[in-house]
Amino acid sequence: MKKTGIILSSVLLTAGLLAGCSSGNKGSGSVAEATLKDGKYDPPVKITIAKQQDENAGKYINGESLNDNVLTRWGTKNLGITIETTLLGGDAAQYNTKLRLALTGSEKLPDVLPVYDTTLENDLIQSGLVKDITEDIKKYMPDRLKEIYKQYPSTFNPVIQDGKVYGMAISPNLTEGEVMLIRQDWLDKLKLKAPTTIDEFEKVIAAFTNDDPDGNGKQDTYGFDFSGKDSYNTGWVSDSVMIFSAFTGKNLPGSWHEENGKLTYGSVAEGNKEALSKLRDWYSKGYLNKELATQGAWDALADFTEGKAGIIIGRPWLYGSVKDVEANVKDAKISAYPTINGVSGDKTYQSGQLNDGVFMFNKDFNNMEAFFLYYDKLYDAAFGTGDFKYGYAQGYDYDIVDGQVTFDPKKFKTPLDAVQGVGKMAFTKNTPSVDGPGKSFADLAGGAKADTGVLMRSDALDQTMKEGYVISYKNSESLLPSAFNGPPTKTMQSSWEQLTTMEKETFTKIIYSKEPLSAYDDFVKQWNEKGGTQITEEVNAWYENASKVDVMSNMGLK
């Protein structure tokens, strides 16, 4: 199985995410009617789920489909648990709209709900349509899962109200950090080294823009490719947060940072003005992609992939999405490097991610034991155990050819253009991992033999990608999950959308030189006056109270 937001063409070391649960509706499978014998329900339990498809999901072979594929068949055959997607969204906006329609009764609410928006999570809790799962976790969560969830107590914050727990993180795990992917052939041609400081970075991107690194006699290349459409801190690909952190340290745009027991919002911290000044200067000189404000994270990859840009920043798997440039452009070579240091000499920081959304459950859903059985079994791919020692399905995400395990789809007995994302077939858009920022890759680099399924999957990746994961693991202390991940505060509910829109527009206009640099000072003033000061007070009140109720003990996770 593959890692979530990753390209399906390269095998990822992680495991299978899931989240289904048996329906609380009467029917041929409620636990009240079924008996669990030798790990299998008889008659089968039916679990209805909601699902947001991601850019790599929904691709099937062998005539399979959303509700009839190799993984759903496995669940029915081996566990007596049938998974059925009854609410499907093609992207985040459409998916959230469908969940909101379910709140009104216009859509049927499935048993298991992956939710990726904290406002929607709060609205679901307030609706009374989702259940408190405190006792279910204590009673039914397998020990292996309990050990995982014990490590990430803060991931429960968005779904705790009045001491009750209305959901659980989707596969909690500290995700990999970002690296710089640089055109090594351009560095070599221009006799440059990979940058380690902001000044060196500027020197490199200036040369990539002005010194004809592709040798075609035209000034048609530029240095730094990133997205500014949705945020200046994407957290995964086409990111520019490194430049902000070079001046702001741990205060990252769009994120909350804790220092001395107090939370502050990164976008209004000291140093942002200097970062914007630098980006403004670079943009005016042509060092950045001209359409950065209209390009989403995936859109921004195009220039790098087409050989027009020299540096792009993202998680190590990003290499798999841009490596076509090495095949399409003569002598092109990409290398992975650590992000630069800040102006203070300290490292630059990134937004760490502990989970992507939460599982919530229909209040009428009574088959949590079945949910946890299925969820735990699909974690076997993360550990290289059970039915999923090498992947989810032979011939789909791995194969055994002449006695050798292979993860190259073109070498399968029935060759495929790309590995099948089996882990995406049964549940949500992302799949779980227990590898953190890249432990298996660091182990391999340290001499470990690839003699387990997890290590074999990691070892099968492209060398550049593996090097990126080693960098990620070595710099894992630079990953900073936002200190605020609770439900929206009272003032956030009325003002946050306006404030974030104002932030994005101000940053973009300054970079584009449509507003003077002093517009940042005006933004900070307005941000505070239009709700920011009150929100900061509310966020700190939440932070102070977050640890007062010991829900971890209540769930048996202490």
Structure tokens belonging to residue 301: 């990859």
- Top-confidence residue, 424 or 392: 392
Whole-number Å distance between alpha carbons of 56 and 41: 31
- The predicted model gives 346-360 an average pLDDT of 95
- Asked if 264 contacts 251 with a C-beta cutoff of 8 angstroms, the reply is yes
Buried b / exposed e over 395-423, threshold 16 CB at 10 Å, is bbbbbeeeeebbbbbeebeeebeebbbbb
Mean pLDDT computed over every residue of the chain = 91
∠ CA 185-189-194, rounded to 5° = 65
Q: Is the CB of residue 208 less than 8 Å from the CB of residue 311?
A: yes
Q: Between these two residues, 91 and 80, which has the higher pLDDT value?
A: 80
What is the DSSP pairing of strand 309-314 with strand 179-183? antiparallel
How far apart CA 68 and CA 73 sit, in angstroms, is 7
Q: Looking at residue 58, what is its pLDDT?
A: 55
Q: Are 68 and 422 in contact (CB under 8 A)?
A: no
CA nearest 367: which of 67, 127, 34? 34
Other C-beta atoms closer than 10 Å to the C-beta of 254 total 20
Number of neighbours of residue 525 by Cβ within 10 angstroms: 12
| pLDDT mean over 392-408 | 96
Q: What is the pLDDT of residue 8?
A: 30
* CB neighbours of residue 118 within 10 Å: 19
Phi, psi of 342 (to 5 degrees): -85, 175
Question: Taking Cα atoms as reference points, which of 432, 429, 431, 430 lies closest to residue 53?
Answer: 429
3-state secondary structure of 112: strand
Alpha helices in 446-488 (DSSP H): 453-459, 463-474
Is the pLDDT score of 399 beyond 90? yes
Q: Residue 466, Cβ neighbours under 10 Å: how many?
A: 22
* Contacts of residue 94, Cβ cutoff 8 Å, sequence gap at least 6: none
State the Cα angle at 184 between 179 and 185, rounded to 5°: 160
Most confident region among 1-5, 88-92, 134-138 by mean pLDDT: 134-138
Spatial separation of the C-alpha atoms in residues 303 and 333, rounded to whole Å: 15
The values of phi and psi at residue 508, to 5°, are -65, -45
pLDDT tens string 503-557? 999 999 999 999 999 999 999 999 999 999 999 999 999 999 887 778 999 999 9
| Arithmetic mean of pLDDT, 278-297 | 97
Task: In whole angstroms, give the CA distance from residue 474 to residue 466.
Answer: 13
Cα–Cα distance for residue pair 234/22, rounded to 1 Å: 35
The yes-or-no verdict on residue 494 having pLDDT over 60 is yes
- 3-class state of residue 82 by DSSP: strand
Cα–Cα distance for residue pair 219/216, rounded to 1 Å: 8
Q: How many residues does the chain have?
A: 558
Confidence category of residue 198, pLDDT binned at 50, 70, 90:
very high
Q: Does the pLDDT of residue 11 top 70, yes or no?
A: no
% of the chain surpassing 90 pLDDT = 83
What average pLDDT does the segment 70-75 reach? Answer: 95
CB 350 within 8 A of CB 241: yes
pTM: 0.90
The residues near 465 (Cβ < 8 Å, ≥ 6 apart) are 10, 316, 317, 319, 320, 336
Statement: residue 4 has pLDDT above 50? no
| pLDDT tens profile 12-52 | 333 333 333 333 333 333 444 678 988 999 999 999 999 99
DSSP 328: H
Going by C-alpha positions, the residue among 555, 310, 385, 298 that lies closest to residue 15 is: 385
In 3D space, the residue among 290, 144, 181, 264 whose CA is nearest the CA of residue 533 turns out to be: 264
Q: 43 preceded by cis ω (within 30°)?
A: yes
Task: Please list the residues that pair with 224 across neighbouring strands.
Answer: 288, 311
- In angstroms, the CA 319 to CA 322 distance is 5
Higher pLDDT, 429 or 166: 166
**Start-to-end CA span in the chain (Å):** 31
